[in-house]
Amino acid sequence: MDLTAQYCSARRDIEERSWALTSRLAALTDRLIGLTGLDHQAFLDVRGKCHEVKGELSESHEELKNHRRNHGC
């Protein structure tokens, strides 16, 4: 891989967004587990947020895959 691809700022931005989404999903999952059996409505709300973040993470993964294919990094 050449230096341009290795230090691609667009790829770095996509990867950092993916990392932030992964961290957010982990925190939401932890919260979700803590709500089990305690507050059904809060549980459903957090579960919905988990689904939203998973969707964003899938989009980010697709964006990274497309970037790698089109840019070569």
Distance CA 42, CA 56 (A): 21
Nearest to 51, CA basis, from 70, 32, 73: 32
Burial of 53 (0-12, 13-18, 19+ CB in 10 A): buried
pLDDT exceeds cutoff 90 at 32: yes
Distance CA 18, CA 16 (A): 5
pTM for the complete prediction?
Answer: 0.81
Residue 72: the pLDDT is: 82
Reported confidence tier of residue 38, pLDDT bands at 50, 70, 90: very high
Reported confidence tier of residue 16, pLDDT bands at 50, 70, 90: very high
Nearest to 12, CA basis, from 59, 63, 51: 63
